[in-house]
Structure 1
Amino acid sequence: MTNIAFIGLGIMGSPMAVHLAKAGHQVAGYNRSPERTAPLVAAGGRAASSIADAVDGAEVVCVMVPDSPHVQEVLTGEDGVFATAAPGTLVIDFSSIRPDVTAQLAATAGEQGFRLLDAPVSGGEAGAVNSALSIMVGGDAADFEAAKPVFDVVGKTIVHVGASGSGQTVKAANQLIVAANIQALAEAVVFLEAYGVDTKAALEVLGGGLAGSKVLDQKKENMLSRSFDPGFRIELHHKDLGIVTSAAREAGVVVPLGALVAQLMASAKASGDGGLDHSALLRGVERLSGVPTSSTNGSEN
């Protein structure tokens, strides 16, 4: 049993913290919206009133917040983790942020006596709820081994991919692949519907061939029913594709498809779809095709 602080109890963080509590760990959760702690408390965890309260006595601190500035605030803020946790604490950042920011934070952590792993996850809300996340981990190998009992509770595919920042780099590549797959699936759905094909049957057979993918398996129902309740919001994927294109430019490599999908994701956000699931890229294809745009409940606008 480990004393764990979990900071950030959103769509992904909440079920992850709940799983840790149900596995027998002592979990104190903190979220800026206090009502988000309710599922953790119901699972036997504790609602913390602040970051300092959450990390009091913690051996491991888990962070799951939206973007680089949020992670920086949580870790290096005046009342953040580095200012209030005990030196030697293992910090696991499950957030998806810029690799260069992670490298800077890891250096700061080392200077202040902390151990930091970047451990972004893939699998969306379903993966978090089912403890089936893919976790790509950057940082010291010994720290990775120390964190394995935590990773094993919330994830299924857990791989140490290199030094600090490597996890974030792999996550950026993941987000490029996922976005391209969702866009292709959205275009295929609109194409099939234009010809009056039984789209559900078509996706079933496509899923059994080379066109099959986890994206098709997990997102086809969203597109068929036009239900875009967020498992992973467009605004967050937009942020991630910004990381991809910026990092690619810094590395001197080209990602032409990535750049295109980044623009399509930006268009979806600008059109007011930022709070919807990224499967709502389908609505962008409909707009470009001049067909009625599906609402989030299956009707048309």
Structure 2
Amino acid sequence: MRTAGFIGLGIMGLPMASNLVKAGFEVTGFDLSADSVAKFAAAGGKPAGSVAEAIDGAELVITMLPADPHVEAVTATIFETIKPGTLLIDFSTIKPQTSQQVAKKGAEKNVRVLDAPVSGGEAGAINAVLSIMVGGEQADFDAAKPVFDAVGKVAALVGPSGAGQFVKAANQLVVGGTYALVAEAILLMEASGVDAKAGLDVLAGGLAASRILELKRESMLARNFKPGFRIDLHHKDMGIVLDAARQAEVSLPFGGQVAAYIQAARAQGMGDLDHSALLAVLEKQSGRGENRS
């Protein structure tokens, strides 16, 4: 399968669709933003003026959308014209229940469906090194492997439909918690008169090392919160985390605290900033610093 319709050419979707083109796929892309469609065409993709046009004749249909309502609306349109036997891969991060409903509707249309949320942010999408958590059937995962290889570094089938979203929820819990703790570490060191840059360099080389320390410590120290992944989206994801916890009947007390930090960031007008802006929230709580973007 080398012919794909790609719906959703945003911060993540545009570089992912472009990487599919680089890998030799024939990709037709659509987005509500005409500018995004134009950028995709400049990258070698085929522009489309509608969802139906994008998926016409496609062997693969791929979606990368912001939230549940967008996935529900777009897949409803897709199922009106999609051909039986087509493979639908949804890279969006949404509620597990929504992915399960999409898979159920797909089965009614004889359409194979995988939920495949990703981790790695904009840089991971641009460099095709995303981690991909997949829910669905083994045969469909195997069929989708060339797609995953083109956009990511590692992909794993983690269970049936919806399972990818549960793992993505766990990912966002860890990412949000790590950002909060790195922010607290920076605040503690700076308030104590410590060279925070040297301190973070040491932490990044020891047991406290993480991808966030590796990739984000310089920008956090500089209070550069240019979005790679916006607070608004992480707020949506933490809602999924808390909902999944209720469904599984488990207590996630630190997850609740992280969700509160992210909610505070939105309330303080930081929704369009990177999720590393949790540092600015903590500074305000301590009466230190300013909100800088």
Q: Deviations over 1:210-239 (max 9, x none)?
A: 111011112212211111111100010001
1:12 aligned residue? 12
Counterpart check, 1:171 vs 2:168: yes
The residue type equivalent to 2:162 in the other structure is G
Q: Deviations over 1:191-219 (max 9, x none)?
A: 11112222111111110001110111122
Q: From 74, 87, 98, give the equivalent of 1:90.
A: 87
SS of 1:73's partner is helix
Work out the CA distance in 2 between the residues paired with 1:39 and 1:153: 19
* Secondary structure of 1:273 counterpart: coil
1:123-142 residue pairs with structure 2 within 5 A? Answer: 123-142=120-139
**Aligned ranges 1:234-245 → 2 under 5 Å:** 234-245=231-242
1:49-93 per-residue CA deviation (whole Å, 9 max, x = no partner) reads: 0000000111111100111111000101xxx11112212110000
1:187 maps onto 2:184 in alignment: yes
Structure 1 counterpart of 2:39: 39
| Residue equivalent to 2:254 | 257
Q: Matched residue of 1:125: which SS? A: helix
Counterpart of 2:199 (choices 187, 198, 202) is: 202
Where do 5+ consecutive residues of structure 1 fail to align?
Answer: 297-301
Query: What aligned pairs does 1:201-280 form with structure 2 within 5 A after superposition?
Result: 201-280=198-277
1:21–1:40: 8 Å Cα contact kept in structure 2? no
- Worse overlay, 82-91 or 113-122: 82-91
User: TM-score, normalised to structure 2's length?
Assistant: 0.98
Q: Is the 8 A contact 1:138 1:161 kept in 2?
A: yes
Distance of 2:22 and 2:102 partners within structure 1: 30
Q: Distance in 1 between matches of 2:287 and 2:43?
A: 48
In the alignment, the residues of structure 2 paired with residue 260 and residue 43 of structure 1 have an alpha-carbon distance, to the nearest angstrom, of 41
Q: Give 1:23 shift.
A: 1.2
- Residue in 2 aligned with 1:105? 102
Conservation of the 8 A alpha-carbon contact between 1:18 and 1:39: no
For the residue of structure 1 that corresponds to 2:133, the secondary structure is strand
**Equivalent of 1:283, from 265, 280, 284?**
280
3-state SS of 1:136 partner: strand
Q: How many residues align?
A: 293
Distance 1:229 1:42 in 2: 25
* 1:14 and 1:36 in contact (8 A); partners too: yes
The gaps in structure 2 that reach 5 residues or longer are none
Q: CA deviation at 1:256?
A: 0.3
SS in 1 for 2:4: strand
- In 1: Cα distance, 2:40 partner to 2:184 partner: 39
In the alignment, structure 1 residue 122 sits paired with structure 2 residue 119: yes
Partner secondary structure for residue 62 of structure 2: strand
Residue identity in the other structure for 1:283: A
Matched, 1:50 2:50: yes
CA distance in 2, matches of 1:5, 1:102: 19
TM normalised by structure 1 equals 0.96
Give the distance between the partners of 1:47 and 1:229, measured in 2 at CA. 28
How far residue 38 of structure 1 moved from its aligned partner, in angstroms, is 2.6
Letter in 1 for 2:184: E
Corresponding residue for residue 152 of structure 2: 155
Kindly provide the CA deviation profile for residues 135-161 of structure 1, in whole angstroms up to 9, marking residues without a partner as x.
Answer: 000001100000000000000011010
Larger deviation, residues 82-91 vs 146-155: 82-91
The CA distance in 2 between the partners of 1:258 and 1:184, in whole Å, is: 12
Shift of 1:291: 0.8
Q: Which amino acid aligns with 1:3?
A: T
In the TM superposition, residue 246 of structure 1 has moved relative to its aligned partner by: 1.1
Instruction: Tell me the CA shift for residue 292 of structure 1.
Output: 2.4
